[in-house]
Amino acid sequence: MQTREQLIHKRIIHVVIIIATSFFAYQYSNWGDALWIPISALAIIGPFTPGMSTRKAQQRMIGSIAGLFLSIVIWLLLFNSSAMLAVVATVLIYLVAFTVVQKYTYFVMLVSIMLCINFDYVNLFINNEMAYLTNRIICVFTGVAICQFYDFLIFRNSYDNAVSLIEGKRINKLIINIKFNLNNMQQYNKNLNKIIIEDYFQDIIQELELLTELKESCNYTYGNQKQTITLLDSYIDKLKLIYAEISEVAYSLSVK
Protein backbone atom coordinates (compact mmCIF):
# COMPACT_ATOMS: atom_id res chain seq x y z
CA MET A 1 0.00 0.00 0.00
CA GLN A 2 1.44 3.34 -1.04
CA THR A 3 1.85 6.04 1.58
CA ARG A 4 0.40 9.52 1.26
CA GLU A 5 3.88 10.96 0.67
CA GLN A 6 4.58 8.46 -2.11
CA LEU A 7 1.32 9.28 -3.87
CA ILE A 8 1.98 13.02 -3.64
CA HIS A 9 5.54 12.58 -4.94
CA LYS A 10 4.27 10.47 -7.84
CA ARG A 11 1.65 13.09 -8.69
CA ILE A 12 4.29 15.83 -8.69
CA ILE A 13 6.36 13.86 -11.21
CA HIS A 14 3.19 13.26 -13.24
CA VAL A 15 2.36 16.98 -13.35
CA VAL A 16 5.93 18.03 -14.22
CA ILE A 17 6.03 15.59 -17.16
CA ILE A 18 2.73 16.93 -18.50
CA ILE A 19 3.91 20.53 -18.25
CA ALA A 20 7.23 19.73 -19.93
CA THR A 21 5.50 17.87 -22.78
CA SER A 22 2.98 20.65 -23.36
CA PHE A 23 5.71 23.31 -23.57
CA PHE A 24 7.71 21.07 -25.91
CA ALA A 25 4.65 20.81 -28.17
CA TYR A 26 4.19 24.60 -28.00
CA GLN A 27 7.78 25.29 -28.93
CA TYR A 28 8.13 22.84 -31.82
CA SER A 29 4.63 22.68 -33.33
CA ASN A 30 4.82 26.05 -35.13
CA TRP A 31 1.02 26.26 -35.01
CA GLY A 32 -0.86 29.51 -34.78
CA ASP A 33 -1.89 30.27 -31.18
CA ALA A 34 0.18 27.29 -29.97
CA LEU A 35 0.48 28.91 -26.55
CA TRP A 36 -2.98 27.46 -25.85
CA ILE A 37 -1.39 24.00 -25.63
CA PRO A 38 0.45 24.64 -22.32
CA ILE A 39 -2.34 26.96 -21.13
CA SER A 40 -4.91 24.17 -21.56
CA ALA A 41 -2.64 21.60 -19.91
CA LEU A 42 -1.93 23.88 -16.93
CA ALA A 43 -5.63 24.66 -16.51
CA ILE A 44 -6.56 20.97 -16.50
CA ILE A 45 -3.94 19.78 -14.00
CA GLY A 46 -4.96 22.55 -11.59
CA PRO A 47 -6.74 20.07 -9.28
CA PHE A 48 -3.94 18.03 -7.73
CA THR A 49 -5.90 14.77 -7.76
CA PRO A 50 -5.77 12.92 -11.12
CA GLY A 51 -9.47 12.11 -11.22
CA MET A 52 -10.49 15.75 -11.00
CA SER A 53 -8.02 16.53 -13.80
CA THR A 54 -9.80 13.99 -16.00
CA ARG A 55 -13.18 15.56 -15.19
CA LYS A 56 -11.79 19.03 -15.83
CA ALA A 57 -10.40 17.92 -19.20
CA GLN A 58 -13.88 16.84 -20.30
CA GLN A 59 -15.40 20.11 -19.13
CA ARG A 60 -12.71 22.18 -20.85
CA MET A 61 -13.24 20.51 -24.21
CA ILE A 62 -17.02 20.92 -24.05
CA GLY A 63 -16.76 24.52 -22.85
CA SER A 64 -14.17 25.47 -25.47
CA ILE A 65 -16.11 24.00 -28.37
CA ALA A 66 -19.40 25.56 -27.20
CA GLY A 67 -17.76 28.95 -26.60
CA LEU A 68 -16.01 29.00 -29.97
CA PHE A 69 -19.18 28.18 -31.88
CA LEU A 70 -21.20 30.74 -29.92
CA SER A 71 -18.55 33.31 -30.77
CA ILE A 72 -19.46 32.86 -34.45
CA VAL A 73 -23.00 33.98 -33.66
CA ILE A 74 -21.65 37.00 -31.80
CA TRP A 75 -19.24 37.71 -34.66
CA LEU A 76 -22.19 37.87 -37.08
CA LEU A 77 -24.01 40.21 -34.70
CA LEU A 78 -21.04 42.56 -34.37
CA PHE A 79 -20.31 42.42 -38.07
CA ASN A 80 -23.79 43.70 -38.86
CA SER A 81 -23.95 46.19 -35.99
CA SER A 82 -20.76 47.22 -34.21
CA ALA A 83 -22.87 49.32 -31.80
CA MET A 84 -23.98 46.04 -30.19
CA LEU A 85 -20.50 45.63 -28.71
CA ALA A 86 -21.50 47.62 -25.60
CA VAL A 87 -24.58 45.44 -25.08
CA VAL A 88 -22.64 42.21 -25.56
CA ALA A 89 -19.90 43.39 -23.17
CA THR A 90 -22.48 44.25 -20.49
CA VAL A 91 -24.10 40.82 -20.76
CA LEU A 92 -20.75 39.06 -20.55
CA ILE A 93 -19.75 41.04 -17.46
CA TYR A 94 -22.94 39.86 -15.79
CA LEU A 95 -22.23 36.29 -16.84
CA VAL A 96 -18.76 36.41 -15.27
CA ALA A 97 -20.37 36.52 -11.83
CA PHE A 98 -22.82 33.79 -12.87
CA THR A 99 -20.15 31.34 -14.05
CA VAL A 100 -18.06 31.69 -10.88
CA VAL A 101 -20.53 29.50 -8.99
CA GLN A 102 -21.30 27.19 -11.91
CA LYS A 103 -19.49 24.24 -13.47
CA TYR A 104 -16.06 24.79 -15.00
CA THR A 105 -17.61 24.17 -18.43
CA TYR A 106 -19.53 27.44 -18.32
CA PHE A 107 -16.47 29.42 -17.22
CA VAL A 108 -14.38 28.05 -20.10
CA MET A 109 -17.21 28.75 -22.53
CA LEU A 110 -17.43 32.37 -21.37
CA VAL A 111 -13.67 32.89 -21.52
CA SER A 112 -13.59 31.47 -25.06
CA ILE A 113 -16.34 33.84 -26.13
CA MET A 114 -14.60 36.87 -24.59
CA LEU A 115 -11.27 36.02 -26.22
CA CYS A 116 -12.94 35.61 -29.60
CA ILE A 117 -14.75 38.94 -29.24
CA ASN A 118 -11.43 40.60 -28.44
CA PHE A 119 -9.99 39.04 -31.59
CA ASP A 120 -13.06 39.98 -33.63
CA TYR A 121 -12.86 43.61 -32.57
CA VAL A 122 -9.73 44.10 -34.67
CA ASN A 123 -10.28 41.34 -37.24
CA LEU A 124 -13.83 41.53 -38.56
CA PHE A 125 -13.21 39.14 -41.46
CA ILE A 126 -14.68 35.66 -41.63
CA ASN A 127 -11.48 34.04 -42.90
CA ASN A 128 -9.53 35.38 -39.90
CA GLU A 129 -12.32 34.28 -37.57
CA MET A 130 -12.39 30.72 -38.89
CA ALA A 131 -8.59 30.44 -38.81
CA TYR A 132 -8.56 31.61 -35.19
CA LEU A 133 -11.29 29.14 -34.21
CA THR A 134 -9.54 26.26 -35.96
CA ASN A 135 -6.18 27.01 -34.37
CA ARG A 136 -7.73 27.41 -30.94
CA ILE A 137 -9.64 24.10 -31.15
CA ILE A 138 -6.54 22.23 -32.36
CA CYS A 139 -4.36 23.65 -29.58
CA VAL A 140 -6.90 23.07 -26.81
CA PHE A 141 -7.46 19.51 -28.03
CA THR A 142 -3.69 18.91 -28.09
CA GLY A 143 -3.29 20.17 -24.52
CA VAL A 144 -6.15 17.96 -23.34
CA ALA A 145 -4.80 14.98 -25.31
CA ILE A 146 -1.38 15.31 -23.67
CA CYS A 147 -2.96 15.20 -20.21
CA GLN A 148 -5.18 12.25 -21.06
CA PHE A 149 -2.31 10.35 -22.68
CA TYR A 150 -0.33 10.36 -19.44
CA ASP A 151 -3.39 9.83 -17.22
CA PHE A 152 -4.72 6.86 -19.18
CA LEU A 153 -1.66 5.15 -20.68
CA ILE A 154 1.28 5.98 -18.41
CA PHE A 155 -0.04 6.66 -14.91
CA ARG A 156 -3.34 4.78 -15.09
CA ASN A 157 -2.54 2.27 -12.34
CA SER A 158 -0.21 4.49 -10.34
CA TYR A 159 -2.89 5.66 -7.93
CA ASP A 160 -4.91 2.45 -7.49
CA ASN A 161 -6.76 2.25 -4.15
CA ALA A 162 -5.13 5.39 -2.80
CA VAL A 163 -6.64 4.94 0.67
CA SER A 164 -3.70 6.76 2.28
CA LEU A 165 -5.06 10.02 0.84
CA ILE A 166 -7.83 9.75 3.44
CA GLU A 167 -6.54 11.25 6.68
CA GLY A 168 -8.30 8.70 8.86
CA LYS A 169 -6.34 9.41 12.06
CA ARG A 170 -7.23 13.09 11.98
CA ILE A 171 -10.90 12.41 11.27
CA ASN A 172 -11.14 9.76 14.00
CA LYS A 173 -9.51 12.13 16.49
CA LEU A 174 -11.99 14.85 15.58
CA ILE A 175 -14.98 12.52 16.02
CA ILE A 176 -13.70 11.17 19.37
CA ASN A 177 -13.05 14.68 20.68
CA ILE A 178 -16.50 15.92 19.67
CA LYS A 179 -18.26 12.89 21.20
CA PHE A 180 -16.32 13.26 24.45
CA ASN A 181 -17.26 16.93 24.79
CA LEU A 182 -20.89 16.27 23.87
CA ASN A 183 -21.14 13.57 26.53
CA ASN A 184 -19.72 15.97 29.11
CA MET A 185 -22.28 18.59 28.15
CA GLN A 186 -25.15 16.16 28.59
CA GLN A 187 -23.79 14.41 31.72
CA TYR A 188 -23.05 17.55 33.70
CA ASN A 189 -25.86 19.67 32.20
CA LYS A 190 -23.46 22.33 31.09
CA ASN A 191 -24.82 25.48 29.49
CA LEU A 192 -24.89 25.55 25.74
CA ASN A 193 -21.83 27.21 24.27
CA LYS A 194 -22.92 28.41 20.87
CA ILE A 195 -19.38 29.17 19.75
CA ILE A 196 -18.21 25.61 20.46
CA ILE A 197 -21.24 24.09 18.74
CA GLU A 198 -20.72 26.29 15.69
CA ASP A 199 -17.06 25.27 15.57
CA TYR A 200 -18.10 21.60 15.64
CA PHE A 201 -20.54 22.16 12.79
CA GLN A 202 -17.91 23.99 10.78
CA ASP A 203 -15.30 21.28 11.32
CA ILE A 204 -17.71 18.53 10.26
CA ILE A 205 -18.85 20.43 7.17
CA GLN A 206 -15.25 21.10 6.16
CA GLU A 207 -14.31 17.44 6.48
CA LEU A 208 -17.38 16.36 4.52
CA GLU A 209 -16.49 18.76 1.70
CA LEU A 210 -12.93 17.40 1.53
CA LEU A 211 -14.08 13.78 1.53
CA THR A 212 -16.80 14.46 -1.06
CA GLU A 213 -14.28 16.14 -3.35
CA LEU A 214 -11.87 13.22 -2.96
CA LYS A 215 -14.68 10.75 -3.71
CA GLU A 216 -15.61 12.66 -6.86
CA SER A 217 -11.97 12.51 -7.92
CA CYS A 218 -11.90 8.74 -7.35
CA ASN A 219 -15.06 8.30 -9.43
CA TYR A 220 -13.42 9.97 -12.44
CA THR A 221 -9.95 8.47 -12.22
CA TYR A 222 -8.96 5.74 -14.69
CA GLY A 223 -7.52 3.49 -11.99
CA ASN A 224 -9.23 1.12 -9.55
CA GLN A 225 -10.44 2.99 -6.45
CA LYS A 226 -13.02 0.58 -5.01
CA GLN A 227 -11.28 0.31 -1.63
CA THR A 228 -10.81 4.07 -1.42
CA ILE A 229 -14.45 4.80 -2.25
CA THR A 230 -15.65 2.22 0.31
CA LEU A 231 -13.50 3.82 3.02
CA LEU A 232 -14.64 7.29 1.97
CA ASP A 233 -18.29 6.27 2.25
CA SER A 234 -17.72 4.91 5.75
CA TYR A 235 -16.13 8.16 6.95
CA ILE A 236 -18.80 10.26 5.28
CA ASP A 237 -21.47 8.23 7.09
CA LYS A 238 -19.63 8.64 10.43
CA LEU A 239 -19.40 12.40 9.98
CA LYS A 240 -23.07 12.65 9.07
CA LEU A 241 -23.99 10.70 12.20
CA ILE A 242 -21.91 12.92 14.46
CA TYR A 243 -23.43 15.94 12.75
CA ALA A 244 -26.88 14.64 13.67
CA GLU A 245 -25.73 14.02 17.26
CA ILE A 246 -24.45 17.59 17.55
CA SER A 247 -27.80 18.87 16.30
CA GLU A 248 -29.69 16.80 18.89
CA VAL A 249 -27.45 17.91 21.74
CA ALA A 250 -27.63 21.53 20.68
CA TYR A 251 -31.43 21.35 20.61
CA SER A 252 -31.73 19.54 23.96
CA LEU A 253 -29.41 22.00 25.71
CA SER A 254 -31.11 25.02 24.17
CA VAL A 255 -34.57 24.07 25.48
CA LYS A 256 -33.43 23.43 29.06
Q: pLDDT tens for residues 149-169?
A: 998 889 888 888 888 888 889
More confident residue, 256 or 228: 228
pLDDT at 192 over 60: no
* pLDDT score at 149: 92
Residue from 113, 119, 74 nearest 96 by CA: 113
Indicate the average pLDDT of the chain. Answer: 82
* pLDDT score at 161: 87
* pLDDT score at 29: 86
Q: pLDDT tens for residues 35-46?
A: 889 988 988 887
pLDDT at 125 over 70: no
pLDDT at 240 over 80: yes
d(CA 225, CA 218): 6
**How far lies 237's CA from each of 202, 207, 225, 244, in Å?**
17, 12, 18, 11
In this prediction the pTM is: 0.77
Average pLDDT over residues 240-249: 86
H-state helical runs in 150-225:
168-187, 194-220
H-state helical runs in the chain:
4-29, 36-44, 50-80, 85-100, 104-122, 126-149, 168-187, 194-220, 226-254
* pLDDT score at 119: 67
Average pLDDT over residues 88-92: 78
d(CA 131, CA 86): 25
pLDDT at 100 over 70: no
- Which pLDDT band, with edges at 50, 70 and 90, does 172 fall under? very high
Residue from 249, 255, 256, 254 nearest 183 by CA: 249
pLDDT at 246 over 80: yes
Residues 148, 214 contacting (CB under 8 angstroms): no
Average pLDDT over residues 20-35: 88
Average pLDDT over residues 4-24: 91
Average pLDDT over residues 67-77: 81
pLDDT at 186 over 80: no
pLDDT at 241 over 60: yes
Average pLDDT over residues 232-251: 88
* pLDDT score at 253: 61
Average pLDDT over residues 28-54: 82
